[in-house]
Amino acid sequence: MRRREFFAFLSGAAMSPLAAKAQQTLTIKRVGILMGLAEGDSEAQARLAAFRKGLEELGWTEGANIELDYHYGAGGVARSRELAAEVIRKKADVIITNSPTALAAAKEATQTIPVVFVQVADPVSDGFVASLAKPGANITGFAISEHTMTGKWLEVLREIAPLTTRVGFIQHTEHPSWPRYNKVIQEAAPSFGIAVFPLGVRSPADVEVGINDFSRQPNGALLVLPDTFNTVNRKIIIGLANQQKMPAIYPSRFYATDGGLISYGGDLVDLLRRAASYVNLALRGANVGDLPVQQATKFELAVNLKTAKALDLTIPAHPLARADEVIE
């Protein structure tokens, strides 16, 4: 075969259907990740590690056939909108969000790119999906709990601190669930003989003022609601609650491991691992609007005995016996 004919043969082979199919197979998919936490947050990295593991189990390997585009909003509304716009510009095939703020930004930014969410309390009431069974549009995901979880938090608070008569609940006022939580907490409180007080915040300074002011009256306790802002500022919240000797319940285990008294809530790391299944389906062409919203299936109760001792609290035997983790 002559030199010219040889190169012509190679060119023809490169354009053959078999070669074209192979090239298509090697196309790298892009997933835009909108994390509500800071990049250096250990909890953020634990969730992302679980997500990557879930993808790998389904045949996706970062740097080989999938590119994961990480964006860290650290709880800011404006920053989340900027990052959502950036993900759109980078032409992500799928977007995954890890906070209601990030989901709201993604919903505002696109009505076509599939979006899979994690950690939303009530996606229907919050206006993200049409229904749990058939979300519709381009959004589905994994809900962390319903707003009615507040009754369980109040119950646990009374159980570990029976003298509690006042509970202040903390959340950022721009959180999509803030109005809904206000309503359900006010409705649940009378059955526990508790007066409740909304501590709406917008900045770390608001947290300090709110907790310190609330602590001036006796028999108070804190309910820290699910909120990326609270997660980002958890060391401030935990420190102030402990400083003021107030019992506090938190929505996730990592609060207790970071010094909070007690936590009860869904396993967020497990949700990120499970979310990989929906991202996989979306990347392979499924209509996410037809994928039902799933609920958290693993819930964790964690008790920090070291903090209890510092607060002069004796945790009753019953919550200790059913705790998934006891920190000593």
What is the residue range of 170's domain? 149-265+300-327
Are 165 and 99 within one domain? Answer: no
Which residues does 274 contact at the CB level (< 8 Å), separation at least 6?
A: 54, 142, 294
CA distance 276 to 49: 11
Rounded average pLDDT over 153-165: 94
Mean pLDDT of the chain: 90
Low-confidence winner among 65-74, 75-84, 239-248, 282-291 (lowest mean pLDDT) = 75-84
Rounded average pLDDT over 269-279: 96
Domain CATH for 186: 3.40.50.2300
Instruction: Determine, yes or no, domain membership for 119.
Output: yes
pLDDT at 78: 85
Instruction: Determine, yes or no, domain membership for 22.
Output: no
Please, what sign has the CA dihedral across residues 255, 252, 272, 57?
A: positive
Are 79 and 166 within one domain? Answer: no
Are 96 and 227 within one domain? Answer: no
- Cα separations (Å) of 4 from 8, 11, 234, 288? 6, 11, 69, 50
Rounded average pLDDT over 238-263: 97
Are 118 and 181 within one domain? Answer: no
Instruction: Determine, yes or no, domain membership for 13.
Output: no
| Domains held by the chain: number | 2
Are 223 and 234 within one domain? Answer: yes
pLDDT at 288: 96
Are 124 and 185 within one domain? Answer: no
Low-confidence winner among 18-32, 48-62, 105-119, 247-261 (lowest mean pLDDT) = 18-32
Counting other chains too, the contacts that 198-203 makes at CB distance below 8 Å and 24 or more residues apart are 198/168, 198/169, 199/168, 199/169, 199/170, 199/171, 200/171, 200/172, 200/173, 201/170, 201/171, 201/172, 201/173, 201/229, 202/172, 202/173, 202/174
Are 125 and 182 within one domain? Answer: no
Are 189 and 282 within one domain? Answer: no
Instruction: Determine, yes or no, domain membership for 249.
Output: yes
Are 170 and 237 within one domain? Answer: yes
pLDDT at 12: 44
Residue % of the chain over a pLDDT of 70: 91
pLDDT at 62 over 70: yes
Q: What is the pLDDT of residues 115-157, one digit of tens each?
A: 999 988 889 988 999 999 999 999 999 998 767 789 999 999 9
pLDDT at 283: 97
Q: Which amino acid is at 232?
A: V
Rounded average pLDDT over 34-58: 94
Are 154 and 284 within one domain? Answer: no
Which residue in 107, 34, 20 sits closest to 76, CA to CA? Answer: 34
- Is residue 26 very low, low, confident or very high in pLDDT (cuts 50, 70, 90)? low
pLDDT at 10 over 70: no
CA distance 50 to 61: 13
pLDDT at 104: 92
Are 132 and 190 within one domain? Answer: no
Are 252 and 280 within one domain? Answer: no
